Amino acid sequence: MVFSSLFYTISKRDKWKEFLESIRNMGRKCKFFETCHQPAVFQIPHSNLALCKQHFLENVEKRVRKLIEKKHMFHPNRGEKLLIAASGGKDSQVLISIIKTLYPKDLDIEALYIELGIKTDNYSLDSGKIAEDWCKHFDIPFHTINVKKDYGINIDDLHNLKEIYKKSNWQYDLQAFRGECSYCGSFKRYNINKFAYERGFTAVATGHNLTDEATSLLNNFLNQNLMFLSRPGPKSKSESKYLVPRVKPLFFISELEITMYAYYKNIPYLPTECPYARQSPVNKLKEVLLEIEEYRKGNMIAYTRGFYKKLQPIINEAYQSQIRAEQSEHLCTQCGRPTFGKICSFCKTQRYLRKQFRKVDEKLHVSILTQNNLSNPS
User: Helix 180-198 and helix 345-364: axis angle, to 10°?
Assistant: 130
Where do the H-state alpha helices sit in 139-270? 147-151, 155-168, 171-176, 180-198, 210-222, 226-229, 255-264
Return the pLDDT at 373.
45
The string of pLDDT tens digits covering residues 245-269 is 999 999 999 999 999 999 999 999 9
So what's the pLDDT on residue 371?
47
| Residue 372 pLDDT greater than 80, yes or no | no
Residue-wise pLDDT tens digits, 283-313 = 888 888 988 888 888 889 999 999 999 988 8
pLDDT > 70: percent of the chain: 84
Domains annotated for the chain, with CATH where assigned, are 56-326 (3.40.50.620), 328-378 (no CATH)
List, as one string, the DSSP characters of 320-356: HHHHHHH---EE-TTT--EESSSS-HHHHHHHHHHHH
Q: Which residue has the higher pLDDT, 11 or 209?
A: 209
User: Taking phi first (over 0 means left), then psi (-120 to 50 degrees means alpha), and beta for anything else, what does residue 48 get?
Assistant: left
The string of pLDDT tens digits covering residues 130-184 is 999 999 999 999 999 999 999 989 999 988 888 887 777 666 566 667 778 888 9
pLDDT of residue 339: 81
For 213-247, what is each residue's pLDDT tens digit? Answer: 999 999 888 888 777 788 778 998 777 788 899 99
Closest CA to 298 of 4, 42, 87: 4
- Say what the pLDDT of residue 247 is: 96
Distances (CA, A) of 291 to 150, 186, 295: 41, 30, 7
Strand partners, 51: 42
Q: Is pLDDT of 378 > 50? A: no
Amino acid at 347: C
pLDDT level of residue 200 (50, 70, 90 thresholds):
very high
Contacts 24+ apart (CB under 8 A), 360-367: 360/161, 360/164, 363/168, 364/164, 364/168, 366/164
Helices (H) and strands (E) in the chain, counts: 18, 9
Return the sign of the alpha-carbon dihedral for residues 98, 104, 108, 111.
positive
> Over 80: is that where the pLDDT of 197 sits?
yes
Do 86 and 111 touch, CB atoms closer than 8 A? Answer: yes
pLDDT value of residue 334: 87
Q: How far is CA 308 from CA 46, 211, 228, 244, in A?
A: 17, 15, 12, 21
Residue whose C-alpha is closest to residue 155's, from 288, 280, 57, 245 = 280
- pLDDT, tens digit, 9 for 90 and up, residues 311-370: 888 888 777 666 554 455 678 888 888 887 788 889 988 888 888 888 777 766 554 544
> For position 18, what pLDDT does the model report?
54
200 vs 180, residue with greater confidence: 200
Is 20 a residue whose pLDDT tops 90?
no
Residues 101-136: pLDDT tens digits? 999 888 999 999 999 999 998 999 999 999 999 999
Residue type, 25: N
Q: What is the pLDDT of residue 105?
A: 85
